[in-house]
Structure 1
Amino acid sequence: MQQPSLEEIFGSYMAWKLDDTTWCINFMNGTQNLYLLEGEEKALLLDTGYGTGTLREFVERLTNKEIIVANTHFHPDHSAGNGEFEKVLVSKGAEIDAPSINGFGPFDLNKLPYADYEKVYLSEGDKIELGGRTIEVLEALPAHCNSSLFFLDRGHRMFFTGDELEAAQVLLYDNSNNQNAPYDVKERLNNFYKNNKRIQELSGEYDYLLPNHNGVVIAKSYVQDFIELVEHIYYGDAVIEDKLNHKFIEMDPKAPELCRVRYKNASIFIKKMLLMEVYGNR
């Protein structure tokens, strides 16, 4: 039996509609989502995957509208395909996380048609107008990474969280590959707490909570569980597990340094040595 190519593994997309004008594009064996939001005039693509060179053609089969592209954050599984498009809207923190993409395999991103694509930087309160549909940009505090943005669609009552919130687990260890970017574990945990508090405070504005991994629409109750997880790390009674039980994270070179910390239905992956600096320290 012939083995699938890397392009087939990383670029085998499926898509379905969340409503009549919102697509979920799923790939990586069901573990990752991109989103395509159509307005009357334009469509917004949130994230570009791994850079197989096959995403644009797939998206253009879903919509005939002009496509605007934006990144939820600047990690390779979300932004490595940016070079398929002439212009991409990104966070101002993208330059901090850029080393996570530079030199990333398995694809030569310089071979993409727009390897030197234009970056347009988004800020808190910016609005992306699609024609009868407005997407509001919210800046996330650095927690999962330095470049996260939230996208709020009040009209369709959808909140797109990127990797700052997902079902089951969130990665909270330094993964920017930028040696000059400081990482303070207490600051990251506090930012993660504040980000979830903000998502919770806006809960009256959305019905659909949409992460990029581990589920499409997830329950709002996860937000409270993650808030309480941070609190119980400081209380010192969140459950620490050395066994990660996640095949992709276990492939990460940093895996031997990591642990999973649980409370209720929420968990994070974090470096255990750093966690113990704050665990039980209210």
Structure 2
Amino acid sequence: MASVPGVSVPGGVAIVTGAASGIGRAAALRLARTGWAVAAVDVDAAGLDALAEQAPGVRPFVCDVTEQEAVGALVREVGRELGPPRRLVHCAAVADMGRLLDADPADTLRLMEVLYGGTLRTVRAVVPAMAAGGGGQLVLLGSIGGWVPVPLGGAYGAAKAAVHYLAEIVAAEHRGDGIRVLCVCPPAVETPMLARIRRDSPELIGKRRGLSPEQVLDSMDRALARGRAWAFPGRGTRALWTARRLAPRVLSGLLGRVVVGK
């Protein structure tokens, strides 16, 4: 893994949220195996314990990222026990799919609370600790679904779009603190969350295979090494992002016909 100015690699302290499964679990394992001390964060205590058994460099921390006081206490505890964080990989996520206006608005807002609110709370707690330690890297998991509106994915996409905006603002406002921000925007990834979506909303994903978590992490590592602000893992993902910018109506019409048959 290439070094980045202001960040000691390997051997620093990394906080990984959503670490009990999926991309977060893969990230925690990769970081631990390359010399990082990893604070693995999730609400799933059993999943964290299983992860820690697999990698001695992983320390489990049970925390709900929707609770500001708990997140603040977590970051302080990590600082006391492991040292100041040099990297945050924020993967904590949930997903509910379906027609946006058919859902109870309270359920849609709860999704926003986890995806955007959880990201905001975690970043807000981590940035001062990073800045005090000389700087660091924030890796935030966005989604191509936050750039390209996909029918049946409106609630999830809106929350991820807010994460994208947060990434840009934090990068601009804290560059002088030595904070580098990377937002990773993959398409569907083969995780337990995608398995649930495939089961509950088969018309959205079908039998199409998603990327592996390792492919997402490879893209993340390349982007970090090159000092980029965005990563679009997977073949064609950047092209989708470009098409959304250049021909939004055409792309939206195509997606509508593919997903909901209109």
TM-score class, shorter-chain normalisation, is 0.3 to 0.5
User: Which has more strand, going by share of residues?
Assistant: 1
User: Which has more helix, going by share of residues?
Assistant: 2
Greater relative contact order structure (CA < 8 Å, 6+ sep): 2
> TM-score by structure 1 length?
0.37
